[in-house]
A and B are shown apart, each in its own frame.
Chain A
Amino acid sequence: MSQRNSLRTMPDENGHYGIFGGRFVAETLMPLILDLERAYEEVKKDEGFWKELDGWFKDYVGRPSPLYFAERLTEHFGGAKIYFKREELNHTGSHKINNTVAQVLLAKRMGKTRIIAETGAGQHGVATATVASRLDLPCIVYMGAKDIERQQPNVFRMRLLGAEVRPVTSGSHTLKDAMNEALRDWVTNVHDTFYVIGSVAGPHPYPAMVRDFQSVIGREAKLQILEKEGRLPDVLVAAVGGGSNAMGLFHPFLDDEVRLIAVEAAGDGIETGRHAAAMAAGTPGVLHGSRSYLLQDEDGQVIEPHSISAGLDYPGVGPEHSWLKDQGRLEIAPITDAETLEAFQLCGRLEGILPALECAHALAHVAKIAPGMDRDQIILLNLSGRGDKDIFAVAEHLGVKL
């Protein structure tokens, strides 16, 4: 067998993934980020921490999440066998809670007494508010005013969980602005506050830490598919906004002979300029603490992204995704709002599952590639969240009044 270097050893000691990653933050935050890095390096080696986390995963989150054979979709497309990693069955309805349980436990260990988070679709906000409530810590969630409008059920859920949801009205009123505002809060409340970042973005060590916490998805999926099929899948597909569910699934497979497809939100179509496809159409830039692919204009101003899915409506992407794209390890597939709506409805009709609009993007890409594949090939899709939160947005797009 030919030897090749592992792709699973990133980042370097300064948090760089090739030219990507790094720590592009204000000096006020640097000592905190270094503290966090030290604390994370400690728990990484601490078996007690991972044992505690496993307990939470099993009894509170409901892990392992099932690997489900989507038989009717497989028949419908008439090609590759399609499996869903059912992250939407986790407590709170998405993969986000894997990371928030771990980060809030870490916050407790570090003696922090106040939790902040940003949220787009509200899934990360709900997952953070949930764990903060359980561990008895006050929680403030920053959310773009436009996202509050289109994700009302999640806003109310966060409030029921005792979190304070602060509307963000700067910039484009979406996820990137919520992240700016959370960073401003953190700079102001450095002494007691832990910032729970929801994606594999932000300054080092966040992208690596969130990846490690989310990698439970890929580790489980690998065991489960080997058990069911006796071999690894041919293709992994996941939607990418910041990229946490994709990285969680992909990372344990990076050194295996498996195609990895990152599906980006093409909004109204890449050619219209109204999209959120940072890797397909962006250029390297620096935002929110790291270098990654970024939607920006000629002058380096960040372009307001667009997607039907609030969770993908982000102008950047994680640094490790950016690096893997440049390595040629990651395939990038843009999917439009219209294609997403179709996949969303199809999944409900055939499998009895309403997927979140985020992973409905991934399913729409599966619809494109599955028919052309052999029947003994396997596609494994990360069904990262449930679609209940999206029914109002979908109804509006379909012209239905609820």
Chain B
Amino acid sequence: MSERIRERFAALAAEGRAGLVTYLCAGDPDPETSLGLIKGLPGAGVDLIEIGMPFSDPMADGPAIQAGNLRAISAGMTLNGVLELVRRFRSEDQTTPVVLMGYYNPVHRMGKERFIAAAVEAGVDGLIMVDLPPEEDEEFCLPAKEAGLDFIRLATPTTDDRRLPVVLQNASGFIYYVSITGITGSAAPVADLVGQAVRRIKSATTLPVAVGFGIRTPEQAAAIARNADAAVVGSALVDLVAANLDQDGKAKPGLVEAVHGLVRELAAGVRGARA
């Protein structure tokens, strides 16, 4: 299990606040800009960094993150490139946890053993694999955990009491509660329902619970942060990347600052939530 993830959530608990998790797609809109974006996240108030591994067919993602994935692929990002990006980030920051999020096929293509070894070496702390449910644990989850990577499991509104123990069984690091039935960046979650769901999950596990999908504004992040251990924001940031591209799809000056600006506001929202 990753020390960095455990220590970060312990520190947040000691501070008495929730954390901010942000998602950006590696290589979006190009590898260098992407590295600049990710390097600046801790300084802008991010507690845990989620980095998307681009895939041509991101089935659980909405239009914003689909577009981000395709931009990254067109700009030449590969799975090796994602690991190199983490390596470069990690050479300057040894404390901020990094989790990779994505779909199984690129990892499968590289070879799971090779990927796991490279991820550990690069300084990855955990993995969120959208299309690997507990039923396929022997395939990848168990070998990844054995190598010391956390396997962060998604729980959803369809995870009923019968299903929850199955989801929790091999989970580690934290639980990612998907606040809506739907794809990323669609409907906004209802804070009260999310609160109930988080309490239900926490009664069954000691792992921290982060909540994501549909959280776009500092106010929404704050509302989630009152009940959860962390709030996850993705599509709103990826939309902001898209809004700062020129006609040729190249990064305009100020893109990185704009994204970090929104991150600062989100961080302030999360930090003020329980004040």
Contacts and interface: CB of A to CB of B under 8 A. Distances in A.
Interface in B148-168: 153-160, 163, 167
Q: Summarize A's interface: helix, strand, loop or mixed.
A: mixed
B178 interface: yes
A244 B97 CA distance: 46
Interface string B128-170: 0011111110010000000000000111111110010001000
Given A287-B57, A302-B105, A28 B178 contact: yes
Interface residues of B, number: 45
Contact of A286 (B108, B134, B156): B108
B44 interface: no
A30 B137 CA distance: 14
Contact of A184 (B59, B132, B160, B167): B59
Given A23-B136, A188-B182, A180 B59 contact: yes
B159 A299 contact: no
A190 B57 contact: no
B78 A187 contact: no
Contacts of A273: none
A22 interface: yes
Nearest to A35: B158
B95 interface: no
B131 A28 contact: no
A24 B160 contact: no
A305 B78 CA distance: 20
Interface residues of A, number: 39
A300 B109 contact: yes
A288 B59 contact: yes
B196 interface: no
Given A190-B181, A287-B105, A31 B158 contact: yes
B181 A14 contact: no
Contact of B135 (A30, A283, A288): A30
Contacts of B157: 28
A30 B62 CA distance: 19
Contacts of B153: 27
Contacts of B73: 301
Interface in A144-189: 170-171, 176-177, 180, 183-184, 187-189
Contacts of B104: 24, 286
Contact of A28 (B79, B80, B156): B156
Contacts of B109: 283, 285, 296, 298-300
B96 interface: no
A301 B56 contact: yes
Contacts of A286: 103-105, 108, 131
A26 B130 contact: yes
A31 B181 CA distance: 12
B243 interface: no
B131 A289 contact: yes
A32 B158 contact: yes
A11 to B, nearest CB: 13
B110 interface: yes
B177 to A, nearest CB: 10
Contact of B108 (A28, A180, A188, A285): A285
A25 interface: yes
A300 B186 contact: no
The 6 closest A-B pairs by CB, nearest first: A300-B109, A300-B106, A188-B182, A28-B156, A301-B56, A27-B154
Interface of A: 14, 22-32, 170-171, 176-177, 180, 183-184, 187-191, 283-289, 291, 294, 296, 298-302
